[in-house]
Amino acid sequence: MIGRLNHVALAVPDLDAAAAMYRDVLGAEVSAPQALPAHGVTVVFVQLPNTKIELLQPLGDASPIAPFLARNPSGGMHHVCYEVDDILAARDRLKAQGARVLGDGEPRIGAHDKPVLFLHPKDFAGTLIEIEQV
Ligand code: CO
């Protein structure tokens, strides 16, 4: 059902420092920061030949990644995103298998203007999973 790895998202306390590390130490292609107030994050995209890394820094008071950074003050892997062809079919299959879909179960428009859903990490080896319809 799942297809390509779309991105791995890292929550970071200092976006400029993390972007500079990926650009200068690791030699990657790094975008300018983009504020996404509707998602409560500022994001930098690291473009790799086969996938993307997203660096996420909290934006605003109710950022969805603030609790993660409170538990992981130096940052860490926040979620992985897999591509699916049909997000409603994927959701229904996952629910039928007993997986928990976060929120109200309806896809939201994610940071890439595509429909996304998040799956409970306790059902997936401790990893928050995002599925994105491409
Ligand atoms: Co994501």
Mean pLDDT by 10 residues, the chain (134 residues): 97 98 98 93 97 96 93 97 98 97 93 92 97 96
State in Å: Cα 24 to ligand 1 middle: 24
State in Å: Cα 121 to ligand 1 middle: 14
State in Å: Cα 97 to ligand 1 middle: 23
Q: Is 79 helix (H, G, I), strand (E, B) or coil?
A: strand
Domain count, the chain: 1
State in Å: Cα 82 to ligand 1 middle: 9
CATH label of the domain that carries residue 71: 3.10.180.10
Provide DSSP, 92-116: HHHHHTTPPBPTTSS-EE-TTSSEE
Q: 76 lies in which domain range?
A: 5-133
Task: Give the pTM.
Answer: 0.94
What are the catalytic residues? Answer: 130
pLDDT in tens, 54-88: 999 999 989 999 999 999 999 999 999 999 999 99
